[in-house]
Chains A and B, each alone.
Chain A
């Protein structure tokens, strides 16, 4: 379930990053607004949105259950342990990285998703998300929170992308290098792309 929901969340990231990248057309958010409108009103997309929320919930609930089970499997800790000798810090910190992502997601949803949907329900109108982005990202601390969120996402994906395949039983000498490299490339591209949005808005590079 971790792997399936994780891969599903990854597909969401691709679409989300793609649409948001429209701000870089530097046309006052016109292209972006077009696609944001499509995403905000299309029935299929709105249904997928519910599936997406469910995907997050299942991923998080499963993470909590697994973590509880795994903690119980070692009631007495080692007095001295050297885990860096056999594994990477981020592979052991999926729960911590995921929690940071979750905190970020709550803040992020409060910035855009919740106000926009609320407005749609009450007035039937969508908000101008582009100017809302410009406002939101004019505060340096918001930019810092977003960059920190992208940073956690990067490490979560660095481990999650490739291990989702391993969990699903896909491990073959011929394809392993491909999965690994695509995983690295994906983690870098997605996080840098997302992080670049608040940063370039803050410095007024996008208008």
Chain B
């Protein structure tokens, strides 16, 4: 049953800019519909704040359909909130009760500095991808799609790894702010496909080096990343990346 009159108390992290000290501030939102998405509730609150002449809460979002990876809220102690396999934009207020108090914070990691309020800078991920998460393609006509045979099994595994949307929930969930799930998803995807073969060894070394340079922590195998990943990326990718890494290290000149 949908409800139209939920009263929600929000404790939201407010921080003017990267340098400023932030703090949790309390807001009351009335007349919340259980059919609203979590972000729509923020739209309602921001609308109210703007009409009151106050600074609206900055938060990241784009597609609002769970595919872009922009939304990034740490809700009641969990990235993307209490549900599994769901981004913040796909979380609905029916997952909460009338009268609930909800704490909302930005992702916390040295490598993800807060820009404003709930918005963090995730360009560290872009730099890791730029360091090796690509394949080289010749210019000219695209080659025939079926020219390279790939087994169904490998294609499926590569596809499962390619589902990562780069949201950073894995980093946010990890007690060490480790980016291993994200990095290993890309390393695994490309290492399984013939297109990724030419850069296979330099890729894993370069991406791992960039990951460390960005200040992410190390993987300690708690499994929190996998449990919180909205796309169900498996930690088996991390083991796969470790294998790729050892092989590349041993072969390095």
Q: Chain A interface (Cβ within 8 Å of chain B)?
A: 66, 69-70, 72-83, 85-88, 91-92, 94, 159, 163, 165-171
Contact = CB atoms under 8 A, between A and B. Distances in A.
Contact of A79 (B13, B173, B178, B218): B13
A83 B82 CA distance: 11
Contacts of B178: 70, 73
Interface of B: 11, 13, 24, 74, 76-78, 82, 103, 105, 108-111, 173, 175-178, 215-224, 227-228, 235-236, 238-240, 242-243, 245-246
A77 B108 CA distance: 7
A85 B82 contact: yes
Q: Is the interface of B mostly helix, strand, loop or mixed?
A: mixed
B221 to A, nearest CB: 4
Contacts of A166: 221, 235, 238-239, 242
A107 B215 CA distance: 37
Given A77-B108, A169-B246, A85 B227 contact: yes
Contacts of A92: 175, 222
Contacts of B236: 171
Contacts of B24: 79
Contacts of A72: 110, 215, 217
Contact of B176 (A74, A80, A167, A170): A74
Given A74-B110, A78-B74, A80-B103, A86 B223 contact: yes
Contact of A171 (B215, B216, B235): B235
A76 B215 CA distance: 14
Nearest to A65: B218
B207 to A, nearest CB: 16
A5 B74 CA distance: 36
Contact of B220 (A76, A86, A94): A94
B114 to A, nearest CB: 8
A92 B217 CA distance: 14
A113 B23 CA distance: 53
Given A83-B175, A92-B222, A169 B243 contact: yes
Contacts of A79: 11, 13, 24, 103, 105
Contacts of B219: 167
Contacts of B246: 168-169
A81 B173 CA distance: 9
Contacts of B235: 166, 171
B77 A81 contact: yes
B109 to A, nearest CB: 6
Contact of A87 (B216, B222, B238): B222
Contact of B111 (A73, A81, A82, A86): A73
A74 B108 contact: yes
Nearest to B176: A70
Nearest to B221: A163
A91 B177 contact: no
**Cβ-closest 10 pairs across A and B:** A82-B77, A171-B239, A73-B217, A169-B243, A163-B221, A70-B176, A86-B227, A70-B217, A73-B177, A87-B222
A70 B218 contact: yes
A124 B215 CA distance: 53
A3 to B, nearest CB: 9
